[in-house]
Amino acid sequence: MAKLWSGRFSKDSSKLLDEFNASIPFDQKLWEQDIRGSKAHSDMLCEIGVLSAEDRDAIHRGLDEIACEILEGRFEFKLSDEDIHMAIEGALIERIGDAGKRLHTARSRNDQVALDFRLFVLQSNQQIRSKLCALIDTLLKIASNHTETLMPGMTHLQHAQPINFGFHLVAWCCAFKRDVERLQASYERHNYSPLGSGALAGVPYRTNRESVAHNLGFIAPTLNAMDSVSDRDFALDLLYEIAMVMMHISRVAEELVLWSSYEFGFVSFSDEYSTGSSIMPQKKNPDVAELLRGKSGRTYGNLIALLTVMKGLPLAYNKDTQEDKEGVFDSVQTALISLEILEASLQTLTIHTDRMHQMALIGHISATDLADFLVQSCGIPFREAHHITGEVVAYAESRGVDLSELAEDEILGFDSRIKTGVKQALDLHTSMNARDSLGGTSTKQTLAQIQILQQWLTLKAKDHNG
């Protein structure tokens, strides 16, 4: 069958051009969006009198048949069709004849692909947000059980101050919450329909772009036809947002890799989400976390690739934008499976609370509490308090014990101004719960943060169901 655009040409395109030019090997992924768009477009054409009701119904039946064949794996995607739009339109014409030929009235492949791709991006946006919310929910459930589980909080990867494990997990949740909010904002920003823009300048038919937009679930049509067919900001936003998600996942994965080592021993991965060594039979490797950490790189690359494609393109549509899809498809797939397997591995994670507490007794992490006690209870200027605390830490080091394990009399001997009660201030649970300021690590504050996030999740679920 001759190409649908071949009327102006006297020679067939070369096989090499067909191979180089075709996007059907990858954009066939957009078949469902293409059929949705064609149905909405045919409804509008019928509404304005370009199509008869009989032709519109024939188009819908033909598109439904094609959808069934694709779902069942019986539809043949041919390289000669070039892209998903021509593949479906050509198959439709073969089935229903002239009615199929009328479908492309008042639209161009330029606005058609802009529509299909935008629908895919918006759908993917929703899917990623759903996975993120499920991950946050899982983290909050774990955190709720560990608001009193002591562990060393770290800066520079050095023991710093006592925190509870739930507090650390809530910190992860806050990052993922920002990811959800970024995705939500871009969804609303790009939820506008480009269909009806034509090639670049609109169409000479009295179309109803508003009805098409609402039929497809958009807020409204896009404003300017030229911008509509050349805009790929919606794809770039999604790529950036996925890169951010994967960066946060990578940071979580890095901590899980560290925590699962013998040196830390805070957590153990289930056998279901671990691998072994081909030569060392004792090994149990955190490959899931390592792969999650590594996959951020490919999503960064996909973002930079599309930015580079778009940076020098004149308005309006250019064939360069055919290079917009594969990176997005890859990043979406990467994000979805990464979120799913991270949640699954966390649900089966073993948490070694005794080891966390043991490690909290290393590094004198209540030293700041001693300095604060000297300032608040003893009236000692902070600089002096800092110096005295350093001397006490050095003494504890010489004794081979943690600062919190010193007897009160030992501490009182360092300065006559030190008051009784100092020993209690150095207790790790007391230290952790003393940080009761808004956003702090105390059990009370951690529970409040968990409640706020759970309420936020409930609202998100209502918005999604609504």
Catalytic annotation, residues = 156, 277
Helix intervals (H) in 191-349: 209-215, 225-230, 233-259, 287-310, 325-347
Amino acid at 105: T
The bridge status of strand 192-193 relative to strand 220-221 is parallel
Q: Are 327 and 239 in contact (CB under 8 A)?
A: yes
Q: From the CB of residue 17, how many other CB atoms can be counted at a distance below 10 Å?
A: 10
The DSSP element (H or E) to which 268 belongs, if any, is strand 267-268
Distance CA 393, CA 458 (A): 47
Instruction: Show Cβ contacts of residue 248 under 8 Å, excluding neighbours closer than 6 positions.
Output: 172, 175, 176, 179
156 burial level (CB within 10 Å; 0-12, 13-18, 19+)? exposed
From the list 142, 210, 205, 213, the residue with the least C-alpha distance to 172 is: 142
* Torsion angle (degrees, nearest 10) of CA 311, 181, 442, 267: -70
From the list 99, 117, 118, the residue with the least C-alpha distance to 42 is: 99
Q: Are 425 and 411 in contact (CB under 8 A)?
A: no
Handedness of CA 182, 135, 163, 262 (dihedral sign): negative
From the list 334, 110, 325, 143, the residue with the least C-alpha distance to 226 is: 110
Half-sphere exposure of residue 324, counting CA atoms within 13 Å on the CB side?
27
User: Helix, strand, or coil here: 351?
Assistant: strand
